[in-house]
Amino acid sequence: MRNKASFLVATTMLFGLLAGCAGSDAQSPAETPSAGSGTETNTNTDAGKSEPSAPAEKVTVEFWHALGGGNGDFLNAMIQRFNESQDEVEVVGTFQGNYDETVTKLQQAVSAGTAPEIGMVERAYVQLFADSGVLEDLTPYLESSGMSENDFSAGMMGHSKFDGQLLSLPLNRSTPIMHVNKSMLDEKGLAVPTTWEELKTVANALVVKENGEITRYGVTMPYDTWYPLAMITQAKGTFFNEDNTSIGFYDNGVGKKVFSFLKDLQSTGALYYPPAQDSGSIANQMFVEGKVGMLYQSTGAIGGLQSTVTFDYVTAFLPGDEVHANPTGGANVVMMGDGKNKEAAWKFLHWVMTDPAGAQQFIIDTGYLPFTKKMTESQQMQDLWAKEPNRKVAYDQLEYAIDTNKDVAWPEVMHEFFSAIEAIMYDNQDIQATLDTFKKEADRILAQ
């Protein structure tokens, strides 16, 4: 078990390694809700009359999060709804930057003994905190509130439990799905692909070349580890092996299979792989402009695409290979072990998880995935899915959610995986030689 000093050193070294979906929600500073007034009570004066006393002070709970921009506004609105719903606890939400910046600040606060009660942690970083013993076990809090792990969607709990302790709960969670220009496919008499082979056929059929230049591609995906991770699990591989001493997609040939498939698509124009810088925005814009027919992207893109496109737009499961499989993304909430007001913090978290004005409304506002059975079955969610069926696809795909990148060393190994992706997809380096190098680096990191 790491101590807090080594915890700070280790995590500071990893600062900035998370990329792509990890920080996509942090756009701009979010406003902090203003403090509410306390309740008034009566005391007896010497004359026997009742006079109002000074307002009772609420217990303050600090919540550090990583949501800026519009999603930050929706989070602040949720916090404000809680503060106005009762007069005992005042939650102060503070935007701390994107996911990796927030993690670094949380580590520093832990080391300094100034940690907030609640933190938002990108789900792949939870194990780093768990391994260091700085998180509060939420099991007794759930039990005291009449809740259990069974209240949550199984596909969202992959980064919640460590060594028998429940150390985080889902909040702003997403998953990659396929976004489809159905009008484009219909023009060619093509069906939405459900397998890699069908994807290859459809993507190649959509390619348009004019004067030797490709003017329309079949499929695109942002520069990110998310999508190769999905394909590795679809080919029945895992990112790490069973005992987390090496990668799990090398000896079985899965890694070579995945990247060979992508390079084959890229070579014909069936796949457009965008530049690393601002790749998500580039891929989205190409899809909106009809320059590509299919897009691998987060469920979080549905709202923006749906309000922008001028064609028949649908979402679909990621095409499968040996099996259907997909990773999850986004962040969980944790209670810091050194927090001063844990009972008050749980009062807020319990409200978030169970009250329709809590996370349920936040999810309806933002497009993140509902993560409890109660939310999923609510009339509000059912009505939303009936009106916007594209959103339900992402939830249904959770049946095939598999997270195989669970290890305290994931962020550092991920950095090397990005280097491998760049070498193969941008620099046309030999796939097997690149994977050989990546495996050596991953093994070295995991052995530390």
pLDDT digits (tens, 9 = 90+) for 104-117: 999 999 999 999 99
Residue 9 has pLDDT above 90, yes or no: no
pLDDT band at 22 (very low <50, low <70, confident <90, very high): very low
Stretch 337-360: mean pLDDT, rounded?
96
pLDDT digits (tens, 9 = 90+) for 121-146: 999 999 999 999 999 999 999 999 99
What's residue 55's pLDDT?
A: 52
Name the burial class of residue 210, with classes exposed (0-12), middle (13-18) and buried (19+) by CB atoms within 10 angstroms of its CB: exposed
Residue 57 has pLDDT above 60, yes or no: yes
H or E element: which one contains 192? Answer: none
What's residue 384's pLDDT?
A: 94
Residue 183 has pLDDT above 60, yes or no: yes
pLDDT band at 44 (very low <50, low <70, confident <90, very high): very low
Residue 39 has pLDDT above 60, yes or no: no
H or E element: which one contains 369? Answer: none
pLDDT digits (tens, 9 = 90+) for 384-429: 999 999 999 999 999 999 989 989 999 899 999 999 999 999 999 9
Stretch 375-389: mean pLDDT, rounded?
95
pLDDT band at 89 (very low <50, low <70, confident <90, very high): very high
> Above pLDDT 90, what percent of the chain?
80
First and final CA of the chain: distance in angstroms?
A: 14
CA quadruple 171, 303, 79, 151: dihedral sign: negative
pLDDT band at 304 (very low <50, low <70, confident <90, very high): confident
Q: Which residue, chain included where needed, has tokens 């979080």?
A: 300
Residue 31 has pLDDT above 70, yes or no: no
Q: How far is CA 22 from CA 36, 97, 224, 341, in A?
A: 33, 12, 10, 29
267: left (phi over 0), alpha (psi -120 to 50) or beta: alpha
| 22-36, 78-92, 168-182, 188-202: the lowest-pLDDT one | 22-36
What's residue 21's pLDDT?
A: 40
Report the interhelical angle of 410-425 vs 431-446 (nearest 10°).
170
pLDDT band at 165 (very low <50, low <70, confident <90, very high): very high
More confident position, 42 or 178: 178
What's residue 7's pLDDT?
A: 54
What's residue 148's pLDDT?
A: 94
What's residue 49's pLDDT?
A: 41
Helices (H), 113-193: 126-131, 139-144, 182-187
Residue 254 has pLDDT above 50, yes or no: yes
Stretch 303-328: mean pLDDT, rounded?
95
Q: Smallest Cα–Cα separation from 180: which of 283, 296, 278?
A: 296
Q: How far apart are CA 292 and CA 369, in angstroms?
A: 26
Q: How far is CA 125 from CA 75, 273, 292, 330, in A?
A: 21, 27, 34, 11
Mean pLDDT (the chain, rounded): 88
